[in-house]
Structures are given as C-alpha cells and as structure tokens.
Structure 1
Amino acid sequence: MLIASCVTRGSVPVVVDTACDWVKPIYLTDHDIDVMERQTKKDILTHNRSWQVNCKKKILN
C-alpha cells in the first residue's frame, strides 16, 4: 500500500545559537595554575580557544 501526502509547511524553523551569551572564557589565578593538573589546564585552554574561535572575541590578558 502506498500512501502519499502533499503537506505544505510554513517557514523553515530557525535555530539561533545563544551559547556566546552564556559561555565565557575561564580565567585562572597564579595559584590555580600551580595546583591544577596538566590535563585540567589543557582542557581549560581548549575551552578558551574554542570560545574565542566560535564567539569571535579576544580574551583579555
């Protein structure tokens, strides 16, 4: 049995990415850097670089 239907939808749904509104870079103190494990620091750096690329903003030093 073949069932066919011609349905017209309205406009195509629009997806708005709001991540840059609530995701921010992670800032570390000297003490944080001293006590964190190497992998944690790498993860934070990856997060900050991803944020910078995706949100097109500079991280203040």
Structure 2
Amino acid sequence: MLKTMLPLCLLGPLLISCATNGADQAKAPAAEPLVQVKTRFVDTGCDWTKPIYVSKGDVLTDETAKAILAHNLAGAKQCGWKPSGK
C-alpha cells in the first residue's frame, strides 16, 4: 500500500501545478517595457587641472605665451579660476 500511495502523493502536486484553465491565453500580450537611456557627461577636468603661472625668470616664446594664456582663459571660463594676484 505504501508503494502505491507514495508515487500518487508525489505526482499529485506535479499534475495540479501544470493544469491551466485557458484564461491566460485570452489576455492580450504584455507590452514591452519602455527603456530610456540618457547620457550624462561629467566633466572632471576642473578637478585635476590648475592655472599655469609664469615667474619673472621664465623665458617664453610667443607661441608658448599664447598657449598658456589660452589655457588660463579656458580655465577661468569653465572652472571659475580667479587671478591669484601674484
């Protein structure tokens, strides 16, 4: 008797869990979820760049002086660098 009841007790829940009543088939298919991707740029240049200061003993070419000036003006505009008063 135990040999007969054990397989029935084990198969019962399996058979019941697979049963459907057909109601799920009548539903409309679920819409695909809407995924929005937004790119965000984080500028960390102000964290690691600093103004370039020139001492009185430095000898610069015109091109180097223009490059330093462009760097410092861009930093003042983008990072809010202020003149040091040196």
TM-score by structure 2 length? 0.54
Structure 1 stretches (4+) deviating beyond 2 angstroms? 6-11
Decide whether aligned partners of structure 1 residues 9 and 43 sit closer, same or farther in structure 2, where only a CA change above 3 A counts.
same
1:44 to 60, 68, 86: 68
**Deviations along 1:8-50, whole A, 9 cap, x unmatched?**
4345232211110011100111111xx2111101110111011
Unaligned runs of 5+ in 2: 1-31
Q: Across the two proteins, how many residue pairs are aligned to each other?
A: 54
Identity, in percent, stands at: 37
Unaligned runs of 5+ in 1: 1-5
Which structure has the greater CA radius of gyration? 2
TM-score normalised to structure 1 length: 0.72
| Aligned position for 1:57 | 81
